[in-house]
A and B are shown apart, each in its own frame.
Chain A
Amino acid sequence: MTMVANLSDKMLVPQPAVVVGRTQESPSIFTLKLRLEDGAAQAAFRHSLGQFNMLYLPGVGEVPISIMSDPEDQQAIGHTIRAVGRVTNRLAELQIGDRIGLRGPFGRGWPIENMKGRDVVVITGGLGCAPVVAVIHYILRRRADYGHLTIIQGVKKAEDLIWRDQYAQWNTHPDTHVMVAADEGGPLWPWHIGRVTDLFGRIPMQPDKAMAVMCGPEGMMVVSAKMLAEHGMPEENMFLSMERNMHCAVGHCGHCQFGGAFVCKDGPVFSWPQVKGLIAHRGF
C-alpha cells in the first residue's frame, strides 16, 4: 500500500473530448477525429502505435477502440470504428461538435521501432482491421525507413472487401504489394481466389529478418503464423493484436484475461510466442 492514487487520474475517469472530424468509410465503418477539450491534456496526449482508448458515450457505455492516428499528429486523436452493437451504433451517429468521454491511451502497441529497415508483412482478415491499418499508414508515411511492405487481406466473399480503392492505392506505393484473397470471387475480382495462405509463397521478404503484424479472426492468425514459420520467419518476429471483453482497461476488471495475460495492459499486441500456447484453445 504505497501508491496513493490521484483520484482525478485521467486514466480512470474519462475526459470530455469533442468530435472535430468525421468520415464515413463504408456503410458501417466511420472514422472520428477527436480532440480533448482540455487543451493542455490534448497537447500532452501521447500514444504509441497499436494502443487503444476507451471511448465513452454518456449514460450508454464505454468501448475499447484502437488509435488510428499517427503518433506524431498532436492535433487530434483518430479512431476508425465499425458500428456493430449497442455502443458503436450510437457512436456512428455522432456529428462534428458532439462531445463524448475519452480515457487512454492503454496497452502495449506494435514494436514499430524494431521494424525499421526490415521487410514488413501485414496480415488481416475479415472486415478491415483498424490496428494494422494504422501500421500501414505509418510505414507509408515513412516509406524509406522500412523494407518491403506486403499487405495481405483475406475475405470470405469478394463483396466483403471494403476500401477497394484504398487497397489499389496502397499497391501503387514503392516496394509495396497488396495481395487479397477471397474464398469466393466475383466478376471483376482482380485478386486471388482461394485462401490467404496460398499467397504466402509469393511474399517478397527476407524471411529471417522480416516482421509480421497480424489482426483479425484468431483462427486466421494461427494459420498465418504457422505458415510464416514454415516460410522461415522466426516466431519472435510475428506480432498480433488481440481483442477481449474490456471494462476497466487497466488490468483490474479481469474480463480480458487470456491465460495469465491481461490483454488490456500486457497487450493488445503480443508476440506470437507469448500467445501461441493458448490461442488455439476454444475458451481462452
Chain B
Amino acid sequence: MSANKSAKPKVAVHKFSSCDGCQLALLDMGPALLDLAEQVDFVHFAEAGPFDDQARVDLAFVEGSIATSEDLARIRLIRENSKMLIAIGACATSGGIQALRNYANGMQWAAQIYPQPEHIDSLPQSTPLSAHVKVDFELWGCPVNSTQIVGFINNFLLGVLPRDNADKVCTECKRRRLPCVLVSRGIPCMGPVTRAGCGALCPGLGRDCYGCYGPAENPNTDSLTAQFRRLGLSPDDIARRFKNVNNFSPAFREAAAKAGGTHD
C-alpha cells in the first residue's frame, strides 16, 4: 500500500493537569514498550526522557485538563505542531476529577488552602482539551489502558483511525458472562450509562461501575436515576454517582443537577 514506510511516525506525549496515570498506559506496557518504540519515534515524552516540546509531530497524545493560563497557550501550540491530536483520559476528555472545582469557586478554594493564593495560577475551570482546540480523537477512561493507546497507534500505522466504541460497559460485562450486580446485589452500577473500554473491570470484581470511562452513547441517565432511587439512594447519593471522575461531561453534569440533593 502507499503508506510511506520509510520514516517512523513522530509521536509526542504531553501532560497537563493530571495524575500521570494515563501515560502509564505506555510506561506500564513492560518490554512491549521497546517493541512499540521500534514502530514510532517518541520525540517528546518528558516522563520517559525525550524532551522536545516544540517538535512537529504526526501524533500528539495529550493527558490532563486545561487548568492554567499557561496551559492554554501550550495546548494551542501543541495543536499547531501536531497533525493529529489525541486526548487521552478523563482529564483530557471531560476535565477530569479536578473539574469538581468547577462547581465551586476555585479561586476561593485556593484562598482557603494556600497562605499566598496569589502565587497560584489557576483558571476558574478545569476543562477538556476540546473546549480549546480541535481534537482528532478521544480515548476515554480514567485511566486509559494500553489496549486503547496501542490500538490507536496500530490503526494509525495502517492509515486509519480506530473505530470508536461508545457502547455501554454492560456490553462488555455480558461478554464476560458476569451476572449483573445491579440486579443480583442491588448495587448502583453505572454500567448502563458508562462507555465501554475497560472490559467491565468493576462488575468483574462483583462491585458497581462508578463511571470512570465517561458517558456512553445514548445514555438514559433519567432511567438509571429512577432505578437508583428504587434501590434506596438519596438524591445526594445519586448526584455523587454522577459527580465523579467525569463530572464535567455534559451527560453526567446534567444528570447530577437533575438528581437534586445538596452535594456540591
- Which chain A residues have a beta carbon within 8 Å of chain B's beta carbons? 57-61, 86-87, 89-90, 93-95, 98
User: Can you list 10 A-B contacts with CB-CB less than 8 angstroms, sorted by A residue number?
Assistant: A60-B155, A61-B163, A86-B161, A89-B160, A90-B158, A93-B1, A94-B1, A94-B2, A98-B1, A98-B2
Q: What A residues does B1 contact at CB under 8 A?
A: 93-95, 98
- The answer for the CA separation of A58 and B159 in the assembled complex, in Å, is 11
Total residues of chain B contacting the partner, CB 8 A = 9
Q: What B residues does A89 contact at CB under 8 A?
A: 160
- The answer for the CA separation of A64 and B204 in the assembled complex, in Å, is 36
Q: Give the residue of A61, A86, A87, A93 whose beta carbon is less than 8 angstroms from that of B2.
A: A93
A84 to chain B, nearest CB (A): 13
A60–B158 CB distance below 8 A: yes
- The answer for the CA separation of A59 and B163 in the assembled complex, in Å, is 12
B117 to chain A, nearest CB (A): 48
Q: What B residues does A90 contact at CB under 8 A?
A: 158-160
Q: Give the residue of B154, B159, B161 whose beta carbon is less than 8 angstroms from that of A93.
A: B159
- The answer for the CA separation of A57 and B160 in the assembled complex, in Å, is 11
CB closest residue in chain B, given A89 = B160
Within 8 A of A (CB), among B218-257: none
Tell me which of B1, B154, B163 has the highest count of chain A C-beta atoms within 10 A of its own C-beta.
B1
B160–A60 CB distance below 8 A: yes
A95–B158 CB distance below 8 A: no
Tell me which of B154, B158, B160, B163 has the highest count of chain A C-beta atoms within 10 A of its own C-beta.
B160
- The answer for the CA separation of A200 and B155 in the assembled complex, in Å, is 48
- The answer for the CA separation of A89 and B163 in the assembled complex, in Å, is 14
- The answer for the CA separation of A94 and B2 in the assembled complex, in Å, is 7
CB closest residue in chain A, given B159 = A90
- The answer for the CA separation of A98 and B159 in the assembled complex, in Å, is 15
- The answer for the CA separation of A89 and B160 in the assembled complex, in Å, is 9
CB closest residue in chain A, given B161 = A86
Q: What A residues does B155 contact at CB under 8 A?
A: 59-60
- The answer for the CA separation of A89 and B158 in the assembled complex, in Å, is 12
CB closest residue in chain B, given A95 = B2
CB closest residue in chain A, given B154 = A59
B163–A86 CB distance below 8 A: yes
- The answer for the CA separation of A227 and B163 in the assembled complex, in Å, is 41
B84 to chain A, nearest CB (A): 15
CB closest residue in chain A, given B157 = A59
A110 to chain B, nearest CB (A): 32
